[in-house]
Amino acid sequence: MKRFLLVFTIALTAGLTLPTLSKANEAKSVFQSLGECERKFVQDFLKADGYYKSSIDGLWGKGTEKAILKFANGRSVTNIINRLGNCLPSGATLSNAYSLRAKSDNVESGFYIANKNFAATFNDCTNELLNSNKKFNSWNQVVNALEPCLEGKGQVRVEYKMFDKILDEIGELRSQ
């Protein structure tokens, strides 16, 4: 009877451990197949969402493994890593990136929830523009005037279509 319990315990432990090891190996392989910038973006996303606690270095380690597996929560790690395998311009992270574009009747902005300072910074810069008494003939001029102010306050502008696509990918991952 003792021998049966020992074999049963080993089999049960192996059965619970092997799928996790398989997922970890899959995650490592897919993660390491990305370029450095894309690996850093995956870590940046996981850090912004509270899954990753280490430095963003683009390297595979226990922290990256744990964060990916926890975020995946049983979903395909390959799909998640490939969808997050984006690259922001130099200096941009999810906590400081934004996009602006001029529309025919206003300025449209986009940012990720991790950029906790964007709304207040945007309002500050808009107020500075209003108080400057500058005259603008188009919304493009407004966008071009806002950018240096936002940059001076630590924000990094990302091309609108690119950033919109990234935000859509993140939204789809969160809704699965």
pLDDT band at 85 (very low <50, low <70, confident <90, very high): confident
Whether residue 32 is found in the same domain as residue 73: yes
Domain boundaries, position 17: 2-84
- In this structure, is residue 92 part of a structural domain? no
Q: What residue type is assigned to position 133 of the chain?
A: N
Other residues' Cβ atoms within 10 Å of the Cβ of residue 119? 12
The pLDDT of residue 21 is: 67
DSSP-derived letter for residue 72 is H
The pLDDT of residue 20 is: 59
Query: Which element (helix H / strand E) includes 76?
Result: none
- Percentage of the chain exceeding pLDDT 70: 88
Domain's final residue, options 36, 55, 84: 84
Question: pTM for the full model?
Answer: 0.80
What's the rounded mean pLDDT across residues 130-142? 93
Whether residue 127 is found in the same domain as residue 74: no
The pLDDT of residue 174 is: 82
Cα–Cα distances in angstroms (integers) from residue 172 to residues 79, 83, 114, 162, in the given order = 11, 9, 17, 16
Q: What is the tally of structural domains in the chain?
A: 2
Whether residue 7 is found in the same domain as residue 72: yes
Whether residue 34 is found in the same domain as residue 60: yes
Higher pLDDT, 61 or 12: 61
What's the rounded mean pLDDT across residues 140-160? 95
31-71: per-residue pLDDT in tens?
999 999 999 999 999 999 999 999 999 999 999 999 999 99
